[in-house]
Structure 1
Amino acid sequence: MEAIFNNKVAIVTGGSFGIGRAAAVAFAQRGAAVVIADCVEDANRETLQQIEAAGGKAIFVKCDVSKAADVTAMIDKTFSTYGRLDFAFNNAGIEGIAATTQECTQENWERTLAVNLTGVWLCMKHELSHMLRQGSGVIVNCASVAGLVGFTALPAYVASKHGVIGLTKTAALEYAKSGIRVNAVCPGVIRTPMIDRFTGKDKHVEQQFRDMEPIGRLGEPEEVAEAVVWLCSDAASFITGTALPVDGGWISQ
């Protein structure tokens, strides 16, 4: 694989599992040094092992993106270790608890928005300050197809992901002339631990999701990761402020 990101540094939040892990590995495969940030580190340190096995460089930083002090520490560790920041994939997120709008608790609402939306804003706030001094950088935020359309029984999640897209577009406009691009990816149903929690690994429920996908299958984390690294590459140099569906055609129905 071509090392198009040699001498570059990438942060991936929510990097221990799923889409985050796939993106961290994809950045490393292209030559970037990677900061894997997550509130938990997988017991087998699999993300780090995959990167190191491929000859890449990476560190793990424990970070709850809803806490400003954690985000500041993550950015400080990035610069004390690698001295720069070129790419950020703000991917950390939670699904919250399924409930209708009327039944959604305030606790669930506040926690879901704290991680999914405030967390993205906090990360961008600190990433942008360094990228502005550097005069370059690319940020990709992880939204969802639930940021483009509505879903029943997930009011906090849907609101948070719509908010991510709005925040992405605003920042893209603010920094378009500063050498910084900001985009979002909107995954559909991707085979991740989050989807496993949602389906309970029930094969019947999984089949229902497959049946709703025009492409006829669930997506893989690596397919979202490829979109992320492409948006960060020079191949996407004229793209900013977009919310890119990676959804097997879900929202085209």
Structure 2
Amino acid sequence: MSTPPLAGKVILLVGASAGIGADAARVLAEDGAALMLVARTKEPLAALTEQLTSEGHDVAFTTGDISDAASVAGFVDATVARFGRLHGAFNNAAMTQGGRLDAVPEADFDRIVAVNVKGTWLCIREEVRVMEGQGFGSIVNVSSIGGLRGSSGMGAYQATKHAVIGLTRTAAHDFGPLGIRVNVLAPGPTETPMLAETRRAIPGGVEARIAATPLRKAGTGAEVGASAAFLLSDRASHISGAVLPVDGGFCA
């Protein structure tokens, strides 16, 4: 039997309680990674961890809020304390926000920026703190096709996802000399609880995007997770600063 592509690697998965994160956890575990799962809510994390450990995978969890600096430092430190090293991180946690730009309440705009932009930056900062001392590491962030192009009705969300791509590209330059790769996924419509929120916020919008997708379907969390697994593995050892659409060809 061949060695699983992530065997021997410790991966921190942020935003693991549902949707893409939970599906990605299953993919990464099956690919051989030891996992630290993080989200704000304990119960779904505990259930997922119990399921994966019962299948023989090395998985732990802790709670945390990516918009809080002390919390991010805490769950990164908890990963190292539990597993000894940090080979890779999948920064998946995010929130969505519908509405025309001039109709978004200021507090809502501040919150989505705090989670999607500041939160991603805090994760990168703390992960690099550990990886720099090791001389290696791979970080995968999550943007969206909304970070590659514009459309009506989700301006605040799209602004943050453009920012995540900018953070990733800058991080690839800043940290490449330290042996750290940084890449970003740009999923299209993906069947998750967040997609259900988008359907409610923009009636017909999701279906219109799927109809304009060459593969004529929404993606799955497992498909996004498989793309993250590739970028986190040594098979992607010369890939950094890349934006990988996982969108069924929508942006082609």
Q: In the alignment, which residue of structure 2 is the partner of 1:75?
A: 76
CA contact (8 A) 1:29 1:51 kept: no
User: 3-state SS of the aligned residue for 2:102?
Assistant: coil
CA contact (8 A) 2:16 2:45 kept: no
Once residues 243 and 48 of structure 2 are traced to their aligned partners in structure 1, the CA distance between those partners, rounded to angstroms, is 26
Deviation at 1:206, TM superposition (A): 5.5
Which amino acid letter does the alignment assign opposite residue 19 of structure 2? G
Q: Given the two structures, how large is their TM-score scaled by the length of structure 1?
A: 0.93
Once residues 144 and 124 of structure 1 are traced to their aligned partners in structure 2, the CA distance between those partners, rounded to angstroms, is 18
Q: In the alignment, which residue of structure 2 is the partner of 1:123?
A: 123
User: 3-state SS of the aligned residue for 1:88?
Assistant: strand
Q: In the alignment, which residue of structure 2 is the partner of 1:89?
A: 90
Which amino acid letter does the alignment assign opposite residue 216 of structure 2? G
CA contact (8 A) 1:143 1:185 kept: yes
Q: In the alignment, which residue of structure 2 is the partner of 1:5?
A: 6
Q: In the alignment, which residue of structure 2 is the partner of 1:180?
A: 180
- Equivalent residue runs for 1:35-50 within 5 Å: 35-43=36-44, 45-50=46-51
- In structure 2, the CA distance between the partners of 1:183 and 1:43, relative to structure 1 (3 Å rule), is closer
Which amino acid letter does the alignment assign opposite residue 91 of structure 1? N
Are positions 1:151 and 2:151 aligned together? Answer: yes
Q: Given the two structures, how large is their TM-score scaled by the length of structure 2?
A: 0.93
Deviations 1:51-93 (A, max 9, x none): 2233101111111100011101101111111111001000000
Deviation at 1:202, TM superposition (A): 11
- In structure 2, the CA distance between the partners of 1:174 and 1:203, relative to structure 1 (3 Å rule), is closer
- In structure 2, the CA distance between the partners of 1:112 and 1:34, relative to structure 1 (3 Å rule), is same
- In structure 2, the CA distance between the partners of 1:243 and 1:104, relative to structure 1 (3 Å rule), is same
Deviations 1:135-165 (A, max 9, x none): 0000000010011001212121111100000
Q: In the alignment, which residue of structure 2 is the partner of 1:193?
A: 193
**Identity of matched residues, %:** 36
- Equivalent residue runs for 1:1-253 within 5 Å: 2-43=3-44, 45-96=46-97, 98-200=98-200, 207-252=207-252
Moved more, 85-94 or 20-29: 20-29
Once residues 101 and 54 of structure 2 are traced to their aligned partners in structure 1, the CA distance between those partners, rounded to angstroms, is 46
User: 3-state SS of the aligned residue for 1:251?
Assistant: coil
Deviations 1:175-232 (A, max 9, x none): 1121110000000000001001222499976644431322111101111111101011
Task: Report the RMSD for the aligned CA atoms in angstroms.
Answer: 2.0
- In structure 2, the CA distance between the partners of 1:204 and 1:147, relative to structure 1 (3 Å rule), is closer
Which amino acid letter does the alignment assign opposite residue 152 of structure 2? T
- In structure 2, the CA distance between the partners of 1:121 and 1:203, relative to structure 1 (3 Å rule), is closer
- In structure 2, the CA distance between the partners of 1:201 and 1:2, relative to structure 1 (3 Å rule), is farther
Moved more, 32-41 or 85-94: 32-41
Report how many residues are paired: 251
User: 3-state SS of the aligned residue for 2:11?
Assistant: strand
CA contact (8 A) 2:198 2:206 kept: no
Once residues 184 and 216 of structure 2 are traced to their aligned partners in structure 1, the CA distance between those partners, rounded to angstroms, is 24
Once residues 101 and 201 of structure 1 are traced to their aligned partners in structure 2, the CA distance between those partners, rounded to angstroms, is 13
User: 3-state SS of the aligned residue for 1:186?
Assistant: strand
